[in-house]
Every structure is written in structure tokens, then in C-alpha cells.
Structure 1
Amino acid sequence: MTTADTSVRVAWSADADAIADLQAAAWRARYADVLPPEILAQIVPELFAAKWVASLDKPGDARNRVLVALEHSTVRGFAVTSPSPDDDADPIVDGEISELTVAPQHRRTGHGSRLLQAAADTLRADRFTRATMWLDARDDALRAFVASTGWEADGAHREVDPVGDGSVRLKQVRLHTTLVGDDG
């Protein structure tokens, strides 16, 4: 019997192009029904690659982490953890998963579960006791997946402007989880 060689590790700067490719494809799929075609066409890997190199080489905070889900040596997903920037957060206590993305054609293969668990473990190792994550309010599947692992909506919501000119507003909801249990 053959099993897939899958894992999650901290991203290296050499992963920047693969993460940028994956992010562009995932965002085009995620926002295909809300962004105008001319904006979707602008979501290309080159838009993200230099930012990934910079953030992987010199993160702004030692607790800013990028994790990649691998199948063999191919990046299939990524997650980003950091102190929570929310106005109601304590940056010592509250961590955030600001991105949890799996390549559209590789969803439902375990990469999301591994990434989510690794992100929570990473936040816990960085001594955060609570984690939050903002999700697109329209993405029922992702919200149900995250909720099935113990995350709950905390009542916070916001609107983001992905285009930057007010022409598109996306509603997001915040989920949270406690990172310390009875053993921690």
C-alpha cells in the first residue's frame, strides 16, 4: 500500500514563488463571483511574490510565521500566523491565523486539517492563549470546516474593500478558539 508523502513545515524564502502561485489561483477562485473580470485578471503571482520573499526573509515580528502544506516537495497550501492586529485584541495573548489557503484542486485531501492544526500549535508555541481568524461570510464550507475543529463565531464582523475604491465590499466574520486546554 502506498501513502502520500504529506507534511507541514515553516516556509522558506525559496517557497515564495510557489506560495504566490497558489495564492493567485486560490484568490481568483475565491473571488470569481464578486470581483469584476478586469480585477480578477490582475490577480497574478507577480502581485504577491516579492511580498512573500520579504516577509519570509525578514518577518516584522518574530511571531509572524508562514507554514506550508506539502505533498512530496510541492506546496499545496499555506497558513499565516501572527499576533492579532484587532483593536479588541491583546497582542501578547491573542494570535491570529490571517490566511488559511489550500490550492482549489487539492482541497478535501487533508492539507487544510494539517495546516490548521500546525497553525494552532505554532500559535501555542508562541505563547498565545487565544486565536482568531477572519473568514469570508459567504464561504459556508470553510466556516463549517473550521467550526468542526472547535472554532466558534464570536459575534465580530467587518467589511473589507479588496479593490481599494469602495466598489466591492466583502463581509467577514471572526471565529476564535482557546489554545490552552486542561493540560496547558
Structure 2
Amino acid sequence: MIDSIRNKYDIDGGAKITVDNGDMEVGSVRGKRQRVEDPKGRVGMTTVREHFSELSAPNGKIVTGDVRDTVKLDADTIITLNLVDNIKVTGKNILVYGTKVTYDVEFFLKKGGKIRFYDQGSGFDISDDSVVNLENGKKIKIRDLKRDKLISLGGKDITYDYIDDRENIKKSAKKNSGNKFGFGKMFHK
């Protein structure tokens, strides 16, 4: 991980790189955002045009430093630091070692995969509004994973199956968490 940060092989400007068989180890990755005049010709108005940098290693691993400003990552395993501003991450094993994930980051977890946030602190800079999408169409916000105590203090592996069956797991945990010393027993009811 440290080598990818030190190697200074930074990718930017909307580059598209694909490695069919093998791994990719790069430094920071950055897309390209441009303010352009309004396409309808309105004076004083601008829009933002985004050019995604895309890194793809469908049968391998991508190791990056910071990823910023409109980037798409797609690999079997993705290891990265911070994810900032409109990032799309698709993989079977997604490992985030940094402390920052912004609200507009989307994770697409493949079947049988897992995601983990290694933040050693409270998880404060991992946005509650980022989304984890599953192949079967289910979605979960990071806020729900924080409530389940799966993010912060080193985190835990969050598996595809856990997210897919989360509602049933929570219901069965509630049902089985009955107290042996209920008030009904205390007052002979």
C-alpha cells in the first residue's frame, strides 16, 4: 500500500486504463471537472462537465492512494485510502484504509464479496450518505452499517450476505434478545 503512494504514478484527466489479467498499483487517482458555459446559452450560468478516470482490472487487484473527483474503479479486489467526490467503486473485496469517504461515493459489491473500512477512529469522516449497492438491487446507506457497529475502531468485514439478509438478521436478534428477568416474572404476571 505504501509503495503505491510513494511511486507517484498518479492518474488524472479522465484517463481510462484496463488490465485484463493482472494487478494495478498506482498513486493518487483524479478525474476531471470543468466549468463550462450553460449549453442553453443563459448568460452568467455555468454547468460542471465531468470526465471520469476509469481503472479496471476485472480479474485482478487495484491498489491506490487517494481517489478524488469523478473516478470509477472496477476490480476483483480494490484497496484504497480516501474516496472523495463522486467515486464509483465496483468489486468483490473492497478495503478502505483511509478515514474519508464523502456523501457521493457509491460502492457496488459483487455477490460473495465483502467490504471493510479500517478507520481506527470514530468513523466520523466516513459519510453516512454513501451507499453500498448489491448485484441483486438492494441498497444500504453507510449510516445503517455504523448503527450496526461495523464501521469505526478498525471496522469489521461486512459481507454481501449480511447486507442482503440484514433485515432478517436484525429481526431474529430482537426476537432472541428477551430478558430472563422480565417484569412479568417479578410481579407474578
TM-score between the two structures when normalised by the length of structure 2? 0.28
* Structure having the higher Rg: 2
Structure number with greater CO (CA < 8 Å, separation at least 6) is: 1
Point out the structure with the larger helix share.
1
Point out the structure with the larger strand share.
2
TM-score between the two structures when normalised by the length of structure 1? 0.29
